[in-house]
Structure 1
Amino acid sequence: MSVDLNHTIVPSRDKRASAEFLAGILGLSAAPQWGPFVPIKTANGVTLDYMDVDEVQKNHYCFIVTEPEFDVIFGRIRERGLDFWADPHHEKPGEINHLYGGRGVYFDDPDGHNMEVITQPYA
């Protein structure tokens, strides 16, 4: 049996602004609104469907990228002056990690979701 993740809903206070923020950091495009959602489609076909809500419950989203893509994404994070951390608990500010022979970084989106970009999957 094959099971793949198709989409997930990302709660936000401003779905268009939040989707465009993440799309801009990752080098993706926020699609036109579809129903109540503003989707971002990743390379493996999964969509993050941003939806406006009154109260945002913060979540964690992790994206795996190549080493060259990490350089570009991390450059965008720094160019925008975003705070970033080497860990999910935000205890190592201004650092990236080097877990499993790769690199990783955490940053918050406008709604406080904990975004992570890594170059190697966790063992």
Structure 2
Amino acid sequence: MTVELNHTIVAAHDKKTSARFLADILGLAVSPQYGPFVPVHIPNGVTLDYMDVSGPIPPQHYAFLVSEDDFDTIFARIRDAGLTYWADPFHHHVDEINTNDGGRGTYFDDPNGHNLEILTRPYGSGSQG
């Protein structure tokens, strides 16, 4: 059996701004609007479909596995944008990255309060640091 995540809907107060934020940070393109959605295609075939909603948005977590070189590039964009970043998902270790599983990772928020993460090693793939 083959099961793959194809897409997910990401709630936003401004779908175009939110999609552009993610695309710019990750170095990706925003695709043309499709129905009520503004898609950002991730290179592994998953699409994040941004959709406008009114009212409070419960924060979600989106983690992106990246290469070491891409981490450097994306992390530079995070810092250049003046974003606060943390070494942990609970936002206790500000302006730090982690070295979990022998890789590197950091967390930052998008304009809607979603907790975004970039990491270079999947959880459980190596030693804790």
When the two structures are superposed, what TM-score results if normalisation uses the length of structure 2? 0.94
CA distance in 2, matches of 1:59, 1:11: 9
Q: How does 1:42-57 map to 2 (within 5 A)?
A: 42-55=42-55, 56-57=57-58
Shift of 1:77: 0.3
* Superposition RMSD in Å: 0.5
CA distance in 2, matches of 1:49, 1:31: 10
Q: How does 1:1-123 map to 2 (within 5 A)?
A: 1-55=1-55, 56-123=57-124
% of aligned pairs identical? 60
Letter in 2 for 1:106: Y
CA distance in 1, matches of 2:8, 2:53: 15
Deviating runs (4+, > 2 A) in structure 1? Answer: none
Shift of 1:80: 0.6
CA displacement, residues 15-40 of structure 1 (integer Å, 9 cap, x when unaligned): 00000001000000111110000000
The alignment partner of 1:25 has SS state of: helix
Q: Which runs of 5+ in 2 are unaligned?
A: 125-129
When the two structures are superposed, what TM-score results if normalisation uses the length of structure 1? 0.99
